[in-house]
């Protein structure tokens, strides 16, 4: 299964292939111009990591809700093509950055952090009223991090698409949710 996945990765250019296969301990950054395939590389990386480590809790997150369906399709397609099986969606989770109550399809990293750590969740309207309209997600994440007494490790890997569009407080939250083993 892994050899098959690696052969499909071979169609990428050398930098894209390295980004999929290399697993860094700590933060790994994938940079490129718009349209250079970063989202596809991220989806391939999620499928590759899931095939290598089926027991890992892998999260994929992004700022734009419309990417959710695309990530599900790409990860599902890449996993089926290379392993013959669908991903275990309880282990591979596609989450928006913010999220909201209402089930798996509405869940997000910030919402998950609040639920997992027993801290108050602020929806967009409340966060904007409390922290201002400049960056309500930054304020909500900072408050949640401050309010959490012991942070639960929710993921082994958390892949962030378009991280430059997300506040530093959100990225810190992502880092704190990772298993530190």
CA-closest candidate to residue 78, choices 29, 9, 30, 23: 9
The pairs formed by 50-54 with CB atoms below 8 angstroms and a separation of 24 or more are 50/75, 50/79, 50/87, 50/88, 50/91, 50/92, 51/1, 51/2, 51/5, 51/79, 51/82, 51/83, 52/2, 53/156, 54/88, 54/91
CA-closest candidate to residue 72, choices 81, 60, 55: 60
pLDDT at site 38? 76
pLDDT at site 10? 45
Residue predicted with more confidence, 21 or 172: 172
How large is the average pLDDT for residues 152-180? 90
pLDDT over 90 (residue 13)? no
The per-residue pLDDT of the chain, averaged, comes to 83
pLDDT at site 45? 86
Centre a 10 Å sphere on the Cβ of residue 101 and count the other Cβ atoms it contains. Answer: 11
pLDDT over 60 (residue 170)? yes
DSSP 122: -
Q: Which tokens hold the place of 70?
A: 């695309």
pLDDT over 50 (residue 15)? no
pLDDT over 70 (residue 28)? no
Q: At a CB cut-off of 8 Å and minimum separation 6, what does 100 contact?
A: 106, 107, 108, 111, 123
How far is Cα 133 from Cα 49, in angstroms, rounded to an integer? 37
Q: What's the longest Cα–Cα distance across the chain?
A: 52
3-state secondary structure of 7: helix
CA-closest candidate to residue 115, choices 135, 100, 130, 134: 100
pLDDT at site 69? 86
Q: At a CB cut-off of 8 Å and minimum separation 6, what does 65 contact?
A: 96
Dump pLDDT digits (tens) for 98-148: 999 998 889 999 999 999 999 999 999 999 999 999 999 999 999 999 999
DSSP 95: E
Q: pTM to 2 decimals?
A: 0.83
What's phi and psi for 5, nearest 5 deg? -65, -45
């Amino acid at each position: 299964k892994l050899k098959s996945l690696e052969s499909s990765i071979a169609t990428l250019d050398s930098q894209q292939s390295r980004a999929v296969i290399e697993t860094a301990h700590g933060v790994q950054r994938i940079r490129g111009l718009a349209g250079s395939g970063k989202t596809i590389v991220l989806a391939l990386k999620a499928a590759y990591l899931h095939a290598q480590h089926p027991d890992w809790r892998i999260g994929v997150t992004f700022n734009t809700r419309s990417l959710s369906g695309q990530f599900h399709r790409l990860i599902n397609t890449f996993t089926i093509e290379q392993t013959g099986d669908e991903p275990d969606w309880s282990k591979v989770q596609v989450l928006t950055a913010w999220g909201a109550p209402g089930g798996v399809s509405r869940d997000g990293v910030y919402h998950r952090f609040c639920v997992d750590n027993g801290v108050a969740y602020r929806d967009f309207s409340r966060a904007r009223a409390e922290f201002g309209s400049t960056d309500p997600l930054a304020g909500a994440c900072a408050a949640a991090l401050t309010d959490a007494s012991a942070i639960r490790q929710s993921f082994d890997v958390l892949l962030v698409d378009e991280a430059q569009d997300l506040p530093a407080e959100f990225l810190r939250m992502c880092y704190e949710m990772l298993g530190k083993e």
